[in-house]
Amino acid sequence: MSVLWILLLPMMGILLPVLFGKSGRTPTAWLTAIMPAAALGMLLQMAPMVFSGQVPMFTLPWVPLLGLNISLHLDGLAFLFCLLILGIGLLVILYARYYLSDTDNMGLFYGYLLFFMSSMLGVVLSSNLLQLWLFWELTSISSFLLISFWWHKTEARKGARMALTVTGAGGLALLGALMLIAHVTGTYELREVLAMGDVVRASEYYPYILALFLLGAFTKSAQFPFQFWLPHAMAAPTPVSAYLHSATMVKAGVFLMARFYPVLAGTEYWFVVVSLTGMATMLLGAYIALFKHDLKGLLAYSTVSHLGLITLLLGLGTELAAVAAVFHIINHAVFKASLFMAAGIIDHESGTRDMRKLNGLWNYMPWTATLAMVAAASMAGVPLLNGFLSKEMLFTETLHQYTLGALSWWIPLLATAAGAFAVAYSLRFMHDVFFNGEPIDLPRTPHEPPRYMRVPVEILVVLCLLVGIFPQFMVGDMLSIASQAVLQKAEPGYSLAVWHGFNFPLLMSALAVGGGLALYLNRRHLFSFQDQFVDHDAKYVFESLVQQMINRVSTLHSWIDNGSLQRAMFLMILLALMVSAVPLFNLVDAIGTHPQLPINWVVGFCAALMIAATFVTLWWSHRRLVALIALSVVGLIVSIAFTYFSAPDLALTQLSVEVVTILLFLLALFFLPQKSPTIDSPLSIIVRDFSVAALFGSVIGTICYAMLTRPLDSISDFFMENSKPGGGGTNVVNVILVDFRGFDTLGEITVLGIAALGIYKVLAQMLVFMPSADSKGYRWSKETHPFLLAVVSQSLLPLALLVSAFIFLRGHNMPGGGFIAGLITAIALIQQYVAHGVVWMKGRMPINYLGLIASGLLISTLSGLGSWAFGRNFLTTWFDHFHLPLIGEFELASAMVFDFGVYLTVIGATLLILANLGKLTTSERLRDGGH
């Protein structure tokens, strides 16, 4: 349980500073420190347990399907890292209290800091692969937030984004690696995975796993070639640099390698890739560090170099090397954190970090200078300091390498060279800053920092000394348990003594120191040599690379998607053609067994006529009126076809719809440009389009033919049988519409209604082009509403209404029904508009079409709901026969109410559309002022 608390306390702690951040700097700092301190207390209280070799654990299932559980364990390695994270974290909190100014949002800063702390704790405590990855990503995110804390500075923004992109990419790779590992081992629980190293190394996936895994680790720990993001992360406030980018977060990568050491290490791949990368990083970092004029820049590259050193150690693959790696993780964290803080103090008190200006600070801040120089000495690897010990171990290990065969001696040589550069830049840090003449025009006159700002540095430096002098006493036990955790077995024999007698490693150290001195003394030549190369700023290189990539992709994209509907349409038809044609190739014979009807000349003539009309429409599609007339011919023949093939309802519907549609087209023609610039697409396009169209047409035709000539066993007999007894109507089609499939009809009239609403919206606030003359320049006729028409149509109206009523009532038993009736009524009314004009109509027929639509829908729905009263399902119909004197036998059916709703909706919708389109030219046109 208490393992969970180590993680939970800092997490809960996030809220404190965020909520009470306004309560002044010192209180905020204290508030922030409470939870980590408590967590640290817990950790120490569990120390005996861990040292006695037990591993406290906590597990809670979370997402079984994914294999993601909340699963924590506190083994030696985790313990070591928790100690670093919490310990240094507390020091950083104290330090930041003095570093940040009043203008900074301190609460937020501390919140981010604790966010990071908990994420990092999560990484080291996790014993579930996916949970580990989860916290891993959280560290990237929190570091992004911290680097961009001063987001108004462009280098902060760019640095943060670069860090996030690089580590984020690595995170994705890591996810892949971990899932593959889990796939191979069949478990997501780290402790089980650690026991199955052989399985993983043996599996076919191993190379991929290793590649992805190392991508994750290297990006996080800024290993070559990904080292470039780390120096730019220095745009963050110095406490962040000290904490994340030297002591803890960048260690996550090496932590991961140490964590999976038993699983992945020990192969040829591992040795070559890891050790060589480490070596390269170590050298590169050390070399560049020497030439950085920025204090933090120097430290950043030195960090890169030291991370390389640790990677190298892990790569060497011997057990002692692993121990040395763990040891150096501790040491580096301690001295580098103190150095960053010192640098921060100098920056804070003198106003610059440029070593060309900073000189002779010894006279201004002797105490800080002493601290900084001790730490720097440790970084250089001077005896009696902790840095020396782990470096000695490195040298020792490099001497026991035979993997490069006869060239194995390269490794110690290069290691020594890197050591020399380390000495050189450490010397530069000490000498340039604290001696070497007087400061050059500093923004402020430097002085010692506030007492407590120095305390963290003091503590860390004292640690450097103590570990350096009494290593076994200070860290012996911790090192041993940590190494055991890494190796998953008893650690090899080694002695943490300061003095091993005169031996080869000592000689190498001596050489390194000597070489370093020499390098530093001749730095002038080196600098002038280095100046020949233009110094690329990774920020800009990276940004411009991303930018170029985006530009390339954008051109590619505009090539794929040129915003043309024609292309989209063409591709869709093409796809439809392909997918539907392929099966037909396997269709042995289109003709089926179903008996065919004989053809007669009437049908033949109609068909010919229709085809002709179709081609007329096609050919004169730009001569709009012609096209329209041809189109209506096609429509008429279609409705004739329906009549011929015994579908009277369809014929009636088709006919009435045809009329309304053509009316609509005619109205629309008035507003479309008389002459439209007929840009005839190039012949090639026309051929292309036509051939695709023809192919698709033939496919559909073939399918139609194949379908027609095959027998069908369908569900429709049921409708024939139940229409009268169950639906109370003899016109089966109508009964299907209002009863068997009434729900479809309800949807259909809803569509009609919504369409009317949509058209209303489209017409509203639309400015119209109103030609005063036709294409030939003849002015439109003055006589808008011919008298004859007015008279005739007026006399026609009652007749039309009567017809529609008749059609409506017979609908249930004979062809007809609400929809057709509605259209007929609508047409009759439209005729009135045409004959008398909008204003006249407005006076006499104040119908609110919108209301008509809504009430129609409502009536249909409610008629369906009525059945609920009798405990029946929605749309269950009821009908009965009554006998009245005079009128005689007649039927009442709830379906008729439903059909009445349809009737109203159709009238409303049709008129709303047509009338409003017609009104466009008049003063009655719609205005869309919202409401």
Pick out residues in 515-554 that bind other proteins (CB under 8 A): 540, 543-544, 546-547, 549-550, 553-554
- Scanning residues 11 to 70, which ones bind other proteins (CB under 8 A)? 61-68
Interface with other proteins (CB under 8 A), residue from 202, 507, 571, 773: 571
Q: Based on CB atoms, which residue is closest to other proteins, 46 or 853?
A: 853
Q: What angle do CA 751, 757, 761 make, to 5 degrees?
A: 140
Q: Exposure string (b/e) for 305-321, b if CB count within 10 Å is 16 or more?
A: bbbbbbbbbbbbbebbb
Amino acid in the structure at residue 81: F
Stretch near other proteins under the rule CB under 8 A, chosen from 90-98, 162-170, 439-447, 791-799: 162-170
* Torsion, Cα of 316, 318, 323, 328 (10° steps): -20
Q: Based on CB atoms, which residue is closest to other proteins, 2 or 876?
A: 876
Sole residue written with tokens 């010894």: 362
Interface with other proteins (CB under 8 A), residue from 27, 34, 44, 151: 151
- Scanning residues 893 to 912, which ones bind other proteins (CB under 8 A)? 909
Interface with other proteins (CB under 8 A), residue from 647, 790, 803, 847: 647
- Scanning residues 257 to 286, which ones bind other proteins (CB under 8 A)? none
Q: Based on CB atoms, which residue is closest to other proteins, 489 or 622?
A: 622
Amino acid in the structure at residue 742: G
Interface with other proteins (CB under 8 A), residue from 199, 404, 506, 692: 692
Interface with other proteins (CB under 8 A), residue from 47, 169, 633, 796: 169
Least distance between other proteins and beta carbon 274 (Å)? 23
DSSP state of 867: H
Total residues at interface with other proteins (CB under 8 A)? 211
Interface with other proteins (CB under 8 A), residue from 202, 407, 607, 892: 607
Stretch near other proteins under the rule CB under 8 A, chosen from 290-298, 427-435, 607-615, 775-783: 607-615
Q: Based on CB atoms, which residue is closest to other proteins, 26 or 730?
A: 730
Stretch near other proteins under the rule CB under 8 A, chosen from 341-349, 396-404, 675-683, 787-795: 675-683
Stretch near other proteins under the rule CB under 8 A, chosen from 231-239, 267-275, 462-470, 858-866: 858-866
Q: Based on CB atoms, which residue is closest to other proteins, 210 or 853?
A: 853
Interface with other proteins (CB under 8 A), residue from 360, 383, 592, 837: 592
Interface with other proteins (CB under 8 A), residue from 360, 648, 771, 837: 648
Interface with other proteins (CB under 8 A), residue from 405, 501, 563, 843: 563
Least distance between other proteins and beta carbon 521 (Å)? 39
| Strand-pair partners of 884 | 888
Task: Tell me the C-alpha distance between 520 and 421, whole Å.
Answer: 9
Binding mask 725-754 for other proteins (x = CB under 8 A): -x---xxxx--xx-xxxxxxxxxxxxxx-x
Query: Other C-beta atoms within 10 Å of 663: how many?
Result: 20
User: What are the structure tokens assigned to 84, written together?
Assistant: 């670093």
Task: Tell me the C-alpha distance between 716 and 802, whole Å.
Answer: 34
Task: Tell me the C-alpha distance between 407 and 214, whole Å.
Answer: 25
Least distance between other proteins and beta carbon 536 (Å)? 12
CB 910 within 8 A of CB 758: no
Look at residues 280, 281, 277, 303 and name the one whose alpha carbon lies nearest to residue 292.
Answer: 303
- Scanning residues 754 to 793, which ones bind other proteins (CB under 8 A)? 754-755, 757-769
Binding mask 63-102 for other proteins (x = CB under 8 A): xxxxxx----------------------------------
Task: Tell me the C-alpha distance between 812 and 820, whole Å.
Answer: 12
Q: DSSP per residue over 743-778, as a string? A: HHHHHHHHHHHHHHHHHHHHHTT------SB-TTSP
Q: Based on CB atoms, which residue is closest to other proteins, 484 or 813?
A: 813
User: What are the structure tokens assigned to 871, written together?
Assistant: 């405990």
Interface with other proteins (CB under 8 A), residue from 410, 645, 780, 890: 645
Look at residues 740, 766, 919, 760 and name the one whose alpha carbon lies nearest to residue 838.
Answer: 919
Interface with other proteins (CB under 8 A), residue from 528, 678, 684, 781: 678
DSSP state of 561: -
CB 135 within 8 A of CB 158: no
- Scanning residues 170 to 199, which ones bind other proteins (CB under 8 A)? 171-173, 175-176, 179-180, 183
Q: Could you give the 3-state DSSP secondary structure of residue 105?
A: coil
Task: Tell me the C-alpha distance between 285 and 176, whole Å.
Answer: 29
Tell me: does residue 697 bind other proteins (CB under 8 A). yes
Query: 877-886 contacts: CB < 8 A, separation 24 or more?
Result: 877/727, 877/728, 877/738, 877/739, 877/742, 879/727, 879/728
CB 175 within 8 A of CB 187: no
Spatial neighbors of 649 by CB under 8 A, at least 6 apart, are: 731, 733, 734, 815, 816, 817, 820
Amino acid in the structure at residue 701: G
- Scanning residues 698 to 727, which ones bind other proteins (CB under 8 A)? 698-710, 712-716, 718-720, 722-724, 726
- Scanning residues 809 to 828, which ones bind other proteins (CB under 8 A)? 813-815, 819
- Scanning residues 833 to 852, which ones bind other proteins (CB under 8 A)? 850-851
Q: Based on CB atoms, which residue is closest to other proteins, 168 or 383?
A: 168
Spatial neighbors of 741 by CB under 8 A, at least 6 apart, are: none
| Strand-pair partners of 139 | none
Least distance between other proteins and beta carbon 772 (Å)? 17
Stretch near other proteins under the rule CB under 8 A, chosen from 147-155, 282-290, 405-413, 435-443: 147-155
